[in-house]
Amino acid sequence: MRSIVFRLCLILVVGLLVQFPAKLDAQTETCAPGLFIYELESGDYIENVVDGSYTYCFEASAYEVWRLDAAATDMLFIDFYRPGAYQAGSGFFAELTTPPGGNETPVVVSTAIFTPEAGVYHLDVEEFAPGEVLFSLHLVKLEARDGLLQNVDYLDANGNNSVGNYYWYYGNIEQALDFYLLASDLNPSDYYIWGNACAAAFQLGDYEEAIDLCDESLDIQPNYTVALDYRALAFESLGDYEEAIEGYEFLAEFDPQPGWHYNLGFAYTFVGDAEQALEHMQAYTELSEDWFDLFWRGLAYLNAGEYEEAIEDLEAVIAQPEDISAFYHLWLSLAYQLNGDLQEAETAFDAAIVMIEGEESEFIQWRLQAVVALLLGDQDEARDRYEEVLGRQPLPHQRRSDLLYLTVLAAQFPDEAQYLETLEWFREELNLD
């Protein structure tokens, strides 16, 4: 009789809070040996005790959010994860612990997991007091209505972070930030969640808030590279290049990766240190081993006055079989011009013009036409085209490449007013002055 009362109580409490899934079609052979697939449905109630631990698995598609509600009369320890990622050392996607009980009233706790890839996911459940905990588990895939996930109330910190990851993936950064901040309120000691909030604030162009949120993360884990990276990017986007360089330099020393050198190449270009910029773009290219990166090294060579090396890199990029941008031809034309080979410069420039006329993207056309106008000495036309660019993507971090191009052009032609004046106007438009 007592067991029946417990069972009814658990079913009623959880049933009021969740929507239950249909039967799962996963096959047992997709699970590791010794595991089984359990259909978590309305009313399922566990009382077959096997050493106080259980493993359930289910299949999910990529980029979904699955909610888990657990009701228990005592402590359960639940790990919610993708086995392959766990074995690779990336850790659990979610952990959930029900509160200690000792009475007949079950307590409901809820989390969620964002599934970054399709496959079988596992729930590992362990009882604090084997054989004595009565519990019920309910699993449901959350559905979206008008772009918003439903049934996201009462989630724990991991659950809200998972919802934030879902919105991040689908490009709703404002919603992502809201859920990251809610998650950080629920678990302010989780540096990973603060880092997610920092990244979202950065993408929204709120650089000062991004720095504050990154600092929250770094106060807990000073070497968390995601927070360090976005913090440095935020300083760069505010025009504080010294702070940005300090952050990037630390990252390049602490965790050698191509991207840190790439960022340093940009930052040193912005402060006018062509030699340091070239050194880091060289390191970036050597570490990344991607043909496309020759463009950035070629641009750094050009900025440092090493025109023959710039020509070599830019020609190597243009020789690739992939669809080549007119930008590469424009910069090759400029490198030839600065190296004194005017005939080759004209040939590369003509090739760029043909490609621009065939460019399907109006936005890319504006960017290319702005550079062409500057090279032809038409400052007004260049600004008109850049106003179109800024109107489409007004945030400083979105126009980072254009700011680099203008900085390099101004450095190569210090006596020609249209380059420096356009650069200063562009920086003012981005609130960098």
- Please determine, for residue 103, whether its predicted confidence score (pLDDT) is greater than 70: no
Question: Is residue 102 assigned to a domain?
Answer: yes
User: Which pLDDT score, from 0 to 100, does residue 36 have?
Assistant: 36
Question: Is residue 414 assigned to a domain?
Answer: no
User: Which pLDDT score, from 0 to 100, does residue 341 have?
Assistant: 94
User: Which pLDDT score, from 0 to 100, does residue 330 have?
Assistant: 92
> Mind listing the pLDDT tens digit for each residue in 379-422?
899 999 999 988 888 888 888 999 999 999 999 998 888 889 99
> Mind listing the pLDDT tens digit for each residue in 130-153?
667 777 778 888 999 999 999 999
Both tokens of 181, joined, read 């901040």
- Please determine, for residue 42, whether its predicted confidence score (pLDDT) is greater than 70: no
Question: Is residue 366 assigned to a domain?
Answer: no
* Phi/psi of residue 125, nearest 5 degrees: -120, 130
Mean pLDDT of the chain: 82
Question: Is residue 11 assigned to a domain?
Answer: yes
Give me the domain span that covers residue 101.
2-144
Q: How many domains does the chain have?
A: 1
pLDDT classification of 53: cutoffs 50, 70, 90: low
- Please determine, for residue 27, whether its predicted confidence score (pLDDT) is greater than 50: no
Both tokens of 331, joined, read 């910069």
User: Which pLDDT score, from 0 to 100, does residue 97 have?
Assistant: 81
Question: Is residue 192 assigned to a domain?
Answer: no
Question: Is residue 247 assigned to a domain?
Answer: no
- Please determine, for residue 93, whether its predicted confidence score (pLDDT) is greater than 80: no
List Cα–Cα distances, 270 to 203, 239, 291, in angstroms.
21, 9, 24
Q: CA-to-CA distance for 252 and 322, rounded, in angstroms?
A: 30
Q: CA-to-CA distance for 296 and 317, rounded, in angstroms?
A: 10
CATH number, domain with residue 64: 2.60.120.380
Question: Is residue 381 assigned to a domain?
Answer: no
- Listed ranges 193-207, 275-289, 359-373, 385-399; the one with the highest mean pLDDT: 193-207
Question: Is residue 194 assigned to a domain?
Answer: no
139 forms beta bridges with: 68
